[in-house]
Amino acid sequence: MTGFHVLICVVVYTSVTRLHNTYVHSENISNGKDAKQSSNYENYYAAQALDRSYASSGSVTERSMMSWWEVDLRGYFTISSITLTAATLRTRYLEMRNAFVEVMDKDVSLCSDVQSEWCGNVSSTVTAGEEFTFTCNATFPVRYVRVTRPSTTNVHLVIGHVDVQGEGAKKPYRSYYKPLKNKKVSQPFLTTSTMTAGNCGIICHQYHSCTAFSYSATIPTDENCLLTDKVMSSSDDNSWTTYPISCL
């Protein structure tokens, strides 16, 4: 078994020197996060559903019998509401009919033990720019929001805009990390010092937004533990090892 797990029992903080990110209740926690979809129709990418400047055209998938869109919130949250807004360009708003919304704690494409909660579905009749707001009663910390449009024929999924409201939540009591040697986080939101990689992992576990950390036992500085909420933000560095959260 590769990697290691951290079981939180006692929290010991070392000297925290820089903290850049905070999350405020009732903000759109999906803004600026990482979105993907089952396929891309022309240049209407998944990220456009998170940017209101694209709300008229939105994100668009290729035709499929099971089109989906997903956002990685890059952290763990308690969700208060999810609002989908239909596009307004031509008749694209019709391509959000019957879509349903669910939330998950892990990446369904990587993990076999994903927890999910169904939040609701869009009606079979949609008007241009119409908003559909869903509340989710998930009893677990949420990291992913997915919108799926099932159909018996090949159809697009078009979403004008997605707004996810919530606040930071504690991670599950176990976090699993897989080491990537000679990699260093390039965009940390917190820099501190620890005695071991395990201690660095414990600190990462305490921040709902931490999705990976880097640790070095050899650098001549007391800032040898770097926490990040970014995806693929590591750079080559022989004195560091990066530990992204992964599934076993």
Can you give the pLDDT at residue 17? 30
In this prediction, residue 26 carries a pLDDT of: 56
What's the pTM value of the predicted model, to 2 decimals?
A: 0.76
Q: What is the predicted pLDDT for the residue at 19? A: 34
Number of domains observed in the structure of the chain: 2
Residue 177 belongs to domain with CATH number: 3.50.4.10
| pLDDT single digits (tens) 125-166 | 999 999 999 998 899 999 999 999 999 999 999 999 999 999
Residue 126: both structure tokens together = 């949609």
pLDDT at 21: 37
10-residue mean pLDDT profile of the chain (248 residues): values are 39 32 62 95 98 98 97 93 97 98 89 88 97 94 96 97 93 72 90 90 85 89 89 74 78
Q: Are 17 and 30 in contact (CB under 8 A)?
A: no
Are residues 70 and 150 located together in one domain of the fold? yes
The set of residues, in sequence order, having a beta carbon less than 8 Å from that of 90 and lying 6+ positions away, is none
Buried b (16+ CB within 10 A) or exposed e, 104-130: bbbeeeeeeeeebbebbbbeeebeeeb
How much is the pLDDT for 173?
A: 60
- Specify whether 120 is located in the same domain as 200: no
Same domain, 92 and 193: no
pLDDT score of 5: 41
Q: What are phi and psi of 129, to 5 degrees?
A: 75, 5
Are residues 42 and 150 both part of a single domain?
A: yes
3-state secondary structure of 112: coil
The answer to whether the CB of 246 falls within 8 A of the CB of 216 is: no
Environment class of 18 (CB within 10 Å of its CB; exposed 0-12, middle 13-18, buried 19+): exposed
127 and 159 assigned to the same domain: yes
∠ CA 104-86-116, rounded to 5°: 10
